[in-house]
Amino acid sequence: GAASAPAASTAPGGGAGEAARDGGTLRLPGESPLTLDPALVGDVTSAEYIYEVFSGLVTLSPELEVVPDLAEDWDQSADGTVFTFTLRSDAVFHDGTPVTPEDVAFAIERACDPATGSTVAETYLGDVVGCVDKLAGRTTSVAGARVLDPRRLELTIDAPKAYFLPKLTYPTSFVVDRRQVATDPRWLDAPNGTGPFRLTEYVEGETLTLDRADAHAGAGGAAHLDAVVYDLRPIDPLTRYENGELDATPVGGADVERVRDPLGHLASEVVEGSGDLGLSYIGFNVTV
């Protein structure tokens, strides 16, 4: 998949420099996700929702630095191959159940299970000792993921790698409720995640609703918004914004000049910045 940054976006009042406000429902345009399973996600659209519903040991700050999330801190061995994570004492699932090192280990074991069918597990977890062997069916467990005690988990990688921690910010290793996964074949309809929002409604091609998870205790704490509602209908989002159906929308290249027009009714609502972090590419079939 590829994601490109919009040249501009629209939102009432612009929003530049405004302080964070609590409450309210934000209405945004969206697309139907290909999956809501953290172990399977490989596309930008699905990840947008998964990052809100689920979380992992670490995350990226707005400055793109690796910072604690479910883990409150970690230690690295002198040779750079053993990471010991200590979980936050207040880390809980949406239903209030405490998050344990066993839950983190389960997520890694599940992602590396061939039966799960993850196409990204080797990319993001292949450094962990035993991951590749389990994916290949040579072992039944990931030797490098070890629970030490009720608060600590140890991950051993096959060589010192500066990029290992940043890879853990991708959803492949994000925590899922092992009890829910084991007993409910439709667990993704209402996943008991650990992220700042709960998935409360999803109608494919229509709407996806996220409500604030008040118990969330990861990076940044609880969300400011009460809810976010994504409009998934295949209707031009700028048209929906102008009709008052959305609170904000990206602006595509075809509409940039129109919304920037100082004589137009949208000019005062345009917010322009450096854009989103993304990658655009063209792939050529060089065999034809």
Q: According to the model, what pLDDT value does residue 266 have?
A: 92
Closest CA to 8 of 283, 281, 273: 273
How far apart CA 22 and CA 214 sit, in angstroms, is 12
How far apart CA 122 and CA 69 sit, in angstroms, is 23
Looking at the predicted structure, is the pLDDT value of residue 16 above 80? no
Looking at the predicted structure, is the pLDDT value of residue 210 above 50? yes
C-alpha angle 95-35-29 in degrees, rounded to nearest 5: 90
272 burial via Cβ count (<10 Å: 0-12, 13-18, 19+) = middle
Look at the block and give the residue holding tokens 């750079």: 80
Looking at the predicted structure, is the pLDDT value of residue 10 above 80? no
In contact, 197 and 189? CB cutoff 8 Å = no
Q: According to the model, what pLDDT value does residue 4 have?
A: 36
In contact, 216 and 194? CB cutoff 8 Å = yes
SS3 74: strand
How far apart CA 255 and CA 227 sit, in angstroms, is 28
For 146, the token pair is 């070890």
Section 3-31 average pLDDT? 69
Query: Which pTM was predicted?
Result: 0.88
